[in-house]
Amino acid sequence: MSDLIRAARTRARLTGAQLAERLEVTTAAVSQMEQSERRGTIQLDTLRRALAALGQDIRLDTAPSSPYAPFAPSNVTDEINRALDEGRPELALRLLTHAASMIAENPDRFSAESLEWRPTEVGDHRWEQLFRAVMSDAIPAGRAKPNWATAKRLPRAWYPFGQYPSLKARAKTSTPAGLRALNIMVDERSLARA
């Protein structure tokens, strides 16, 4: 569902143990809160209490129901975090590229607000930069880019699928220029197939 606690904890540069101390609970309880939030089973008062310990408050809002809502940046972020937590980077890339293609092919189905609103980030900073680059490219020319959509260059080359020698070799020669400039090495074919 969401990843607000972990995102706020990360921004505050706190460990789970440090948040547990603030909440006067165990580290395991903080882990359980974060997991139940991702599953969408967390109690609202528990979420509020955890966020308050991080100096944050929760904002609830409604949005019109849409078949395109699962492809909005906020929802895709949460799904990518879930896939990465499960050790499924291939799924994370598939989710990202599919959402980007939905935005690029159906720009009129996404309001400026649905593209801008993104309360959490991808937990892995490298994947976050890949997310920003791919999603920014998907937003058609003439539409304002969200504040979060500027990717930062990684300090050294990163191969999301470096554990596969053939994909790493392919990425060295066929990574799109925009990603290569960011030191994100993903070959064109993997981006298209995902």
Do 8 and 84 belong together in one domain?
Answer: no
Taking residues 79-103, what's their average pLDDT? 94
Q: How many CB atoms lie within 10 A of CB 9?
A: 23
Residue 66 confidence (pLDDT): 83
* Interval 110-130: pLDDT, tens: 999 899 989 889 989 999 999
Do 136 and 40 belong together in one domain?
Answer: no
183: in domain: yes
Q: Is 63 helix (H, G, I), strand (E, B) or coil?
A: coil
Q: How many structural domains compose the chain?
A: 2
2 pLDDT more than 90: no
136: exposed, middle or buried (C-beta count within 10 Å: 0-12, 13-18, 19+)?
Answer: middle
The pTM score is 0.77
Q: Is the dihedral of CA 109, 115, 119, 124 positive or negative?
A: positive
Percent of the chain predicted with pLDDT > 90: 69
84 pLDDT more than 90: yes
63: in domain: no
CA-closest candidate to residue 118, choices 139, 144, 148: 148
Mean pLDDT of the chain: 91
Do 77 and 161 belong together in one domain?
Answer: yes
* Interval 27-43: pLDDT, tens: 999 999 999 988 889 99
Single-letter code of the amino acid located at 132: R
**Domain ranges, residue 147:** 70-193
39: in domain: yes
Query: What phi and psi, each to the nearest 5 degrees, are found at residue 41?
Result: -110, 5
194 pLDDT more than 70: no
38: in domain: yes
65: in domain: no
103 pLDDT more than 70: yes
CA-closest candidate to residue 22, choices 45, 44, 55: 55
